Amino acid sequence: MTAPTPPPAPTVPVHDDRPHRVTKPFFTFGTVSLLIAMGVGYSFGVTRMLLGLGQVTNLDDHNPWGIWISFDVACGVALAAGGFTTAALTDIFGGRKYKALLRPAILTAFLGYLWVAIALSFDLGRYWNIWRPIFNWQGNSVLFEVGMCVTVYLCVLAIEMSPSILEGLKARIDDNEWGAAFLRRIEGPIMAAYRGVRVALPIVIVAGVVLSCMHQSSLGTLMLIAPTKMSPLWDTSVLPLLFLFSAFMVGFPMVILESIYANISFGRSPEMELLTPLSRIIPWFIGLYALLKLGDLAVRWDSLDFLARPGATTSLVVEILVGVVAPFLLLLNKAVRRSMGWLFLSVALIIFGVVLNRINVFLVAYEAPYSTRSYFPSVGEIAMTIAIVSSILFCYRFFVTFFPILPGFQPQRVAELERLREERARTVSPFWTWVIRGSAIAFLLAFVAIYNVVHVTAERGTVKLVESVRRVQAATPVFAKAPSNYPNRPPGYQNFYELKSEFLAGRSDDYEPVPFAHRIHDEITGGDCSACHHRYAADPSDRVGVDLVEYHAQFDVKVGGACAACHQDLQDRPPQGCQRCHAAPSEADSPSRIGLKGAYHRQCIGCHERQATTEYAPTACNSCHHPWTPDHGALVDLSGTPRPQDVTGLCLSCHPRVGRDILATAHWRWQGYSPVLKGYEHRGDVSLTMMVNNTCISIGSNMQECASCHIGYGWVDEKFDFSNPNNIDCLVCHDTTGTYKKEPGRGGLPDPSVDLVAVAKKVGRPTKRECGSCHFASGGGPFTKHGDLEPALVDPPPDLDMHMGQLKMRCQDCHLTIEHRIAGMSMSAPAVEGRVRCERCHGPTPHGVAGVLSRHLDDHVRAVACETCHIPSIARNLPTLLRRDYSQAGADRPAGVDRYGMPQYDKRFGTLTWGKNIVPKYLWSDGTRNASLVGGTIAPSAPVVLNAPVGEKRDPKARIFPFQLHEAVQPYDTVNNVLALPKLLGGYWVDYDWSKAISEGMKLVNVPYSGSYGFVETRMYSSVHHQVVAAGKALGCADCHEPEAITCTRCHRNAAGMALPEHRRAMYPEAKARMDFKSLGYTDDPARVGGRFYVTLGRGVPPR
């Protein structure tokens, strides 16, 4: 270290350390620069006020405090420590020779604290509430401590500043300067205040020192509230003490820095005769601080991880080496203390060290664990900070110019001083002295008392509750509310809130509840009821029960499948239901027991998640829960009587993709890929209009009538535009009001009486009613064609159809629909968009829990379709049409009524034969069928079968399916041997002239007509898939097989005592010879002669 040059000897012959106003021009380059910096910075401040903190700062939830707190506030308070340290030095500890430094130090402190408050108000989100802590005390809060202390200390500083201010005002009066005329009027009060303040000052000065020590240390406590977020390098319980000591340490350096800086900038020689001895005190404070700082680090050394955050460690090292060790060593050197330059450097290092320490504690040490980015101040934050510092400098310049702060070197206003001395001579009387001092002390005592009250109340935990919470307490004691559904809970447990499944209530608008298919799951678990029914309680009041495995262990029974083997009376005595125990969550007798909602979900989700495939065990919410359609009431912006196409246009405006999907579907085009039509397996162009049937004979020649079941508007002839999505009839399927209907004969347009707007506002998922509006009415009217599809299926009793009745399933639950392509196959329509298979839910071995018979029944699945046994009869509710004879039509005969109340004759259709509860026809079918297209030749000698199912006994893919047979006598072209295609509506049904009607009709479908017609017997099948009954109502063994053929002992040779009387009993004995095995290709009852491929029965001799 080179020896610093010695300072120049004081050149001013008459030294005067009394404060004087600086007589220099106020507006200089420096002050104007400060103004510019303030303008730039405060423009960011204004932006923050207008747009919020987030727009200007880089703060976020993880870094809530930036440099406005760490520098402007924390460093501001620390660097204002010169005020109280100098005051303590000169006025308490008798260092009176330094009092020339006192007024500048107090001014710096005052300005520092003032701008701390101003900077804080920019940082506070609700700055207009800044006064709140005065009334809303929170003694536990360190910040409250700091805030109140700073507020009072700011008042103290104002009092300490007031002699300078009042002297300055007095000087203005005396010198007759600007404003003197006004000030002269209040000269009396000014002087009274001046005298009063001077009397109170000793008390106030001591209070200032105490307050400073309080909040300087409390600032250090501030960050101790977040020990888990603070770097251990700084997080220590002695942090408040460190803050206090560093405030002591930085006080005099700030005074020295400010003195040197002020003197140089005013072109004076520095007051080295004061600064040098003052700087001799500083190393003591540095030493005190360093001792504590390093001692604390040493004590906690083992718990410190210096490598965890290298940046932080570096910052700590710089803080200690540059800010503490270096100035300490420098200031020990006498030459350094005497040299202005070196002294300036030394104190600057100390100040830098303290600033870095505060930034370290408030920014660097604070590391939010979830923060995704590190904080760096934004341009706005930096500019504002510069503006704050500039403001302090500017105000310093202002005050030293207009008020006597700085010591003067030229006693230019001796007269002024003489006058002031005079004033002091006329000092206040002892009475008033003690009144003023007494009130000052009383103020301080009141402050202490209030402080005491705040702390004691806070410590006792009775923090003043906010108004609203007090209301909360008064209005509803939290535990006074007993759950209404369970008033009988034992005391102490009534306080559990019942989960009144808001999930289900709130979501019922969005999702449908899931109908639990109990039987299927029963089968999937292999009949292991214990998979879900895991406990057993003999007593109905027992809400806990015993474990099912333990319970069965006492009977030496292992639980794990085929429960029904023993429990054959499951129907009569079902296992205990879930809700018996799982009534409400966390009840008294077993607090860990969950409620019904949780039980269901956990069982389902838990089990599904464990399955190997999610195909049958989906886990997403909407794979079990169907979403409801949201309320379209507000979405449908229609009024009056719009055209149907306009309604569709509105639908498509939100659902454009659906429109494109529909244009490709079979429901729209009535044609499509036809893999089930023999001879047309690889075609996509076979249309429904090309098919011949024996109900209304031909669609192509009756388009206007038949298109009332088309999901479109206006299909009356071939000019219909299939590419225009606006022609789609959305409402026919998505109506939920039940008021929508199509008008027959208008090509699918709705009945004019329908309020389309009301229907459109209530659209929803199609129900069975909407599907049935066409499919229940096929063949010309309700229950005409399909004996298994009738209007009663909209809401059937369970024994009519267990899927739709018991499980409330919708059509689309089986007829899976993807992009409006609906799975399913009709015996009349060519297109197929997916097949419906029972196995999708029931699996290949569905009879798992039916007891000893299950294997035999599962064997049947290979040869017999599920429907064969589970649809014992069709048209169980309403009669269906079995035969119509068009050859008898056209006569004016009485209709007559058969035993079902149905007409036996109709002029349009001829004689009609109805049947109810009819047994289906059983035929082999591999799923395909022959087709009769328009123009196909027939052999009229025998009954013409229009759509015979394909399959035979030897075909392994074929199984026995039930069918409904439609018989008819219908016209045909006797010359060309093709089925005639008469136009019925608007044709035959007008003038009952077959020849004319056939001629018109065949022209419409471009089939040549010879002119002569006759009548031919035709047969048409429709498949039977609906009106499925449950196991208990399905066909029994003896319904198909001869009772005598059903024996056990033929195969089970040692089955002595095995008697099966119930299997020899037919479930439906009235339907004799239901299954014609001979016509199906068997030589005899397969129970006697064996099945198709694998069983040769009769390995033993049947017992006699």
Residues 471-490 that bind other proteins (CB under 8 A): 471-476, 478-479
In angstroms, what is the minimal distance from the CB of 255 to other proteins? Answer: 13
Q: Does 206 bind other proteins (CB under 8 A)?
A: yes
By C-beta, is 84 or 905 nearer to other proteins?
A: 84
In angstroms, what is the minimal distance from the CB of 624 to other proteins? Answer: 11
Q: How far is CA 1090 from CA 424, 657, 854, 1046, 1087, in A?
A: 135, 54, 18, 12, 6
Exactly one of 322, 329, 458, 514 binds other proteins (CB under 8 A); that residue is 458
- Of 179-187, 364-372, 379-387, 765-773, the segment contacting other proteins by CB under 8 A is 364-372
- The contact pattern for other proteins, residues 179-198, with x = CB under 8 A and - = no contact, is ------------------xx
Rounded Cα gap, residues 474 and 729, in angstroms: 59
In angstroms, what is the minimal distance from the CB of 579 to other proteins? Answer: 14
Q: Does 798 bind other proteins (CB under 8 A)?
A: no
By C-beta, is 207 or 1066 nearer to other proteins?
A: 207
Exactly one of 178, 370, 431, 555 binds other proteins (CB under 8 A); that residue is 370
- Of 14-22, 389-397, 735-743, 1034-1042, the segment contacting other proteins by CB under 8 A is 14-22
Taking phi over 0 as left and psi of -120 to 50 as alpha, with beta for the rest, 779 belongs to left
Exactly one of 22, 37, 53, 256 binds other proteins (CB under 8 A); that residue is 53
**CA neighbours closer than 13 Å in the CB half-sphere of residue 555:** 8
Name the phi and psi angles at 406, rounded to 5: -80, 145
Q: Does 433 bind other proteins (CB under 8 A)?
A: no
**Interface size with other proteins, residues (CB under 8 A):** 166
Q: Does 258 bind other proteins (CB under 8 A)?
A: no
Q: Does 99 bind other proteins (CB under 8 A)?
A: yes
Rounded Cα gap, residues 697 and 705, in angstroms: 12
Q: What residues are paired with 978 via a beta bridge? A: 937, 973
- Of 59-67, 181-189, 719-727, 885-893, the segment contacting other proteins by CB under 8 A is 59-67
Q: Does 607 bind other proteins (CB under 8 A)?
A: no
The SS3 assignment for 407 reads strand
**Nearest C-alpha neighbor of 937 from the set 885, 886, 901, 972:** 972
Q: Does 88 bind other proteins (CB under 8 A)?
A: yes
Q: Does 229 bind other proteins (CB under 8 A)?
A: yes
In angstroms, what is the minimal distance from the CB of 1 to other proteins? Answer: 19
**Nearest C-alpha neighbor of 856 from the set 1037, 594, 1016:** 1037
Exactly one of 373, 421, 682, 719 binds other proteins (CB under 8 A); that residue is 421
Exactly one of 3, 5, 8, 10 binds other proteins (CB under 8 A); that residue is 10
- 817-818 vs 821-822, strand pairing mode: antiparallel
Exactly one of 35, 117, 193, 288 binds other proteins (CB under 8 A); that residue is 288
Rounded Cα gap, residues 713 and 720, in angstroms: 9
Exactly one of 303, 468, 613, 753 binds other proteins (CB under 8 A); that residue is 468
Which amino acid, 296? D
DSSP string over 656-698: HHHHHHHTTSHHHHSB---TTBTT-TT-S--BGGGBB-SSSSB
In angstroms, what is the minimal distance from the CB of 467 to other proteins? Answer: 7
By C-beta, is 35 or 154 nearer to other proteins?
A: 154
By C-beta, is 585 or 714 nearer to other proteins?
A: 585
In angstroms, what is the minimal distance from the CB of 548 to other proteins? Answer: 16
Q: Does 62 bind other proteins (CB under 8 A)?
A: yes
By C-beta, is 369 or 1103 nearer to other proteins?
A: 369
Q: Does 169 bind other proteins (CB under 8 A)?
A: no
**Nearest C-alpha neighbor of 717 from the set 702, 727, 729, 732:** 702
Rounded Cα gap, residues 364 and 360, in angstroms: 4
Q: Does 1 bind other proteins (CB under 8 A)?
A: no
In angstroms, what is the minimal distance from the CB of 621 to other proteins? Answer: 6
In angstroms, what is the minimal distance from the CB of 1076 to other proteins? Answer: 52
Q: Does 152 bind other proteins (CB under 8 A)?
A: no
Please, which residues have CB within 8 angstroms of residue 145's CB and are 6 or more apart in sequence? Answer: 139, 214, 215, 218, 221
Exactly one of 37, 38, 59, 1046 binds other proteins (CB under 8 A); that residue is 59
Give the angle subtended at the CA of 480 by the CAs of 476 and 482, to the nearest 5°: 120
**Nearest C-alpha neighbor of 676 from the set 1050, 1053, 931:** 931
Q: Does 553 bind other proteins (CB under 8 A)?
A: no
Please, which residues have CB within 8 angstroms of residue 371's CB and are 6 or more apart in sequence? Answer: 62, 63
Q: Does 18 bind other proteins (CB under 8 A)?
A: yes
Q: Does 597 bind other proteins (CB under 8 A)?
A: yes
**C-beta of residue 998 within 8 angstroms of C-beta of residue 982:** yes
By C-beta, is 366 or 715 nearer to other proteins?
A: 366
By C-beta, is 197 or 831 nearer to other proteins?
A: 197
Q: Does 202 bind other proteins (CB under 8 A)?
A: yes
**C-beta of residue 552 within 8 angstroms of C-beta of residue 581:** no
Q: Does 634 bind other proteins (CB under 8 A)?
A: no
- The contact pattern for other proteins, residues 374-403, with x = CB under 8 A and - = no contact, is ------------------------------
Tell me the two tokens of residue 239: 């942090």
Q: Does 248 bind other proteins (CB under 8 A)?
A: yes
Q: Does 705 bind other proteins (CB under 8 A)?
A: no
Q: Does 295 bind other proteins (CB under 8 A)?
A: no
Query: By CB neighbour count within 10 A (0-12 exposed, 13-18 middle, 19+ buried), where does 913 fall?
Result: middle
Give the angle subtended at the CA of 173 by the CAs of 170 and 177, to the nearest 5°: 120
In angstroms, what is the minimal distance from the CB of 175 to other proteins? Answer: 16
Q: Does 19 bind other proteins (CB under 8 A)?
A: yes
- Of 7-15, 393-401, 562-570, 661-669, the segment contacting other proteins by CB under 8 A is 7-15
Tell me the two tokens of residue 371: 């923060």
By C-beta, is 129 or 653 nearer to other proteins?
A: 129
In angstroms, what is the minimal distance from the CB of 515 to other proteins? Answer: 17
Exactly one of 3, 36, 124, 818 binds other proteins (CB under 8 A); that residue is 124
Q: What residues are paired with 922 via a beta bridge? A: 962
Exactly one of 272, 754, 759, 985 binds other proteins (CB under 8 A); that residue is 272
Q: Does 87 bind other proteins (CB under 8 A)?
A: yes
DSSP string over 1054-1103: T-TT---GGGGS-SSTTSTT-S-TTTTT-SS-HHHH--SSS----SSPPP
**Nearest C-alpha neighbor of 516 from the set 809, 931, 874, 208:** 809
Q: Does 127 bind other proteins (CB under 8 A)?
A: yes
Neighbours of 24 (CB within 10 A): 12
Q: How far is CA 1033 from CA 167, 869, 1087, in A?
A: 112, 9, 21
By C-beta, is 10 or 30 nearer to other proteins?
A: 10
Task: Please provide the distance, in angstroms rounded to a whole number, between the alpha carbons at the two ends of the chain.
Answer: 129
Q: Does 21 bind other proteins (CB under 8 A)?
A: no
Q: Does 989 bind other proteins (CB under 8 A)?
A: no
Q: What part of residues 1022-1051 is at the interface with other proteins (CB under 8 A)?
A: none
Name the phi and psi angles at 925, rounded to 5: -150, 135
Q: What part of residues 320-349 is at the interface with other proteins (CB under 8 A)?
A: 334, 337-338
Q: Does 469 bind other proteins (CB under 8 A)?
A: yes
Query: By CB neighbour count within 10 A (0-12 exposed, 13-18 middle, 19+ buried), where does 2 fall?
Result: exposed
